[in-house]
Amino acid sequence: MPETVAPIANPAPLTSLTEDEVLFRDNVRQFAEERVRPLAKEMDEKGVFEKELIHQFFQLGLMGIEVPEQYGGGGGRFFEAILAVEELSRADASAGVVVDVQNTLVNNALLRWTTEEQRKRYLPRMVADTVGAYALSEAGSGSDAFALQTKAELKGSDYVLNGRKLWITNGKEAGLFILFATVDPSAGYKGITAFIIEKDFPGFSVGKKEDKLGIRASSTCELILEDCKVPKANVLGEVGKGYKIAIETLNEGRIGIGAQMLGVARGAWEYAAKYAQERKQFGKPLADFQGIQFQIAQMATDIEAARMLVYNAARMKDAGMNFVKEAAMAKLFCSQVAERVTSLAIEIYGGYGFTKDYPVEKYWRDSKIGKIYEGTSNMQLATIAKLVMGGK
């Protein structure tokens, strides 16, 4: 007789949450429903993010989720930040990206790379009232992130920066910028250095705000540096190691974009499923037609798969595991799902879905950016291919 082997207990599904996480998620969801959703259409039309909402983000602790309590933060985990981004994006993707950039990029960079003196100076501000922005991209430096031309020259006790940054999220609202420049163009990526720049530093200004297809309320701005003086004490990490900060921070940020796209897909699916039960054709609801049922089922399946990828990557990050491949997969797949689901949602609405009187066209417009910022889909595929084939 073969030896009896005790069955292995099934692990908790990736989508399972602790009681504290459920409470946190539900609180953010309620806030998004009551405060964010009613403003989403107007903010989209005006292309302006409501200042009072940002104030409320700070009041709720959503702008410093992982910041330790000793600096005034929530002392939470990365996973909670991901939950917040998802729930806010379900109501409005612009709201989601404000909180996303603050937590997954700016605060993460400050937590990992600052000195204790820098933490004491800046982290309490990030928790209380200061919006952050992450300034890497330039006109000729997109996917080729390290082709940047912004220069930093050491003059006495200050670095003097000259150049321009483009497509900087939160640019209009931000009071603090993690900005990348090169101290030695001949050194290539090894000359890149990260700086902490305050909005009122001399020689620094915010240029035009882009008029965009989607996430219109989110400010995407040009930054102008004309002999901008930055104290040596505001170097983030080590001189010449900015490339490392950029790469590792963006790996975390991509999970945040995955969460944003997950929220966008969820929001559109919920509207489409509800509409299919209300709209009648040929004497019965659309939801009674098998073709519509199959579309709604496929959308739901894609959303659940996207959620598992995002939650798994976030859990791995919190566990201290290598999550680079999983982050790239989450961003790649979630952006695909968001575009596909929002497009189908428009089709379920039919002609109504093509008008601005109904919400699904906005979800579709908001979804498109998911394949572009914080690393295009092709760049994610390149990363995944190298890692699954044994490269670095």
Give per-residue pLDDT as tens, 190-249.
999 999 999 999 999 999 999 999 999 999 999 999 999 999 999 999 999 999 999 999
Binned at pLDDT 50, 70 and 90, residue 129 comes out as very high
Does residue 374 carry a catalytic annotation? yes
Tokens of 363: 């979800």
Instruction: Identify the weakest region by mean pLDDT among 8-22, 62-76, 272-286, 355-369.
Output: 8-22
CB-CB contact of 219 with 165 (8 Å): no
277 with 381, same domain: the answer is: yes
Asked if residue 38 belongs to a domain, the reply is: yes
| Statement: residue 8 has pLDDT above 80 | no
268 with 326, same domain: the answer is: yes
Instruction: Identify the weakest region by mean pLDDT among 140-154, 231-245, 356-370.
Output: 140-154
Q: Determine the Cα angle at 130 with ends 108 and 31, to 5°.
A: 85
Give per-residue pLDDT as tens, 79-122.
999 999 999 999 999 999 999 999 999 999 999 999 999 999 99
What confidence score (pLDDT) does residue 391 get? 64
Asked if residue 4 belongs to a domain, the reply is: no
Q: Which domain holds residue 76?
A: 19-131
383 with 254, same domain: the answer is: yes
186 with 281, same domain: the answer is: no
The single-letter code of the amino acid at 109 is: A
252 with 372, same domain: the answer is: yes
Examine the fold and report which residue of 204, 219, 240 is the final residue of a domain before the chain moves on: 240
Question: Whose structure tokens read 């989110």?
Answer: 218
| Statement: residue 5 has pLDDT above 70 | no
CB-CB contact of 57 with 99 (8 Å): yes
| Statement: residue 10 has pLDDT above 70 | no
376 with 324, same domain: the answer is: yes
CB-CB contact of 126 with 300 (8 Å): no
CB-CB contact of 310 with 82 (8 Å): yes
Give per-residue pLDDT as tens, 22-57.
999 999 999 999 999 999 999 999 999 999 999 999
Asked if residue 14 belongs to a domain, the reply is: no
Please give the helix or strand (H or E) that residue 392 lies within, else none.
none
54-85: burial string, b at 16+ Cβ within 10 Å, e else = beebbebbbbbbbbeeebbbbebbbbbbbbbb
Binned at pLDDT 50, 70 and 90, residue 144 comes out as confident
127 with 140, same domain: the answer is: no
190 with 327, same domain: the answer is: no
Asked if residue 142 belongs to a domain, the reply is: yes
What confidence score (pLDDT) does residue 99 get? 98
Examine the fold and report which residue of 240, 271, 303 is the final residue of a domain before the chain moves on: 240
252 with 357, same domain: the answer is: yes
Catalytic annotation, pick one of 80, 87, 222, 374: 374
CA dist 143 to 139, 146, 154, 357, Å? Answer: 11, 9, 28, 36
Asked if residue 29 belongs to a domain, the reply is: yes
CB-CB contact of 20 with 26 (8 Å): no
254 with 381, same domain: the answer is: yes
Domain count for the chain: 3
54 with 161, same domain: the answer is: no
| Statement: residue 7 has pLDDT above 50 | no
101 with 207, same domain: the answer is: no
Give per-residue pLDDT as tens, 273-324.
999 999 999 999 999 999 999 999 999 999 999 999 999 999 999 999 999 9
The structure's pTM equals 0.95
Tokens of 6: 């005790």
CATH code, 336:
1.20.140.10
pLDDT, mean of residues 339-353: 98
Asked if residue 1 belongs to a domain, the reply is: no
Average pLDDT over the chain reads 95
CATH code, 182:
2.40.110.10
Asked if residue 93 belongs to a domain, the reply is: yes
CATH code, 43:
1.10.540.10
| Statement: residue 174 has pLDDT above 80 | yes
Sign (positive/negative) of CA torsion 102, 107, 108, 113? positive
96-117: burial string, b at 16+ Cβ within 10 Å, e else = bbbbbbbbbbbbbbbbebbeee
Asked if residue 13 belongs to a domain, the reply is: no
| Statement: residue 9 has pLDDT above 60 | no
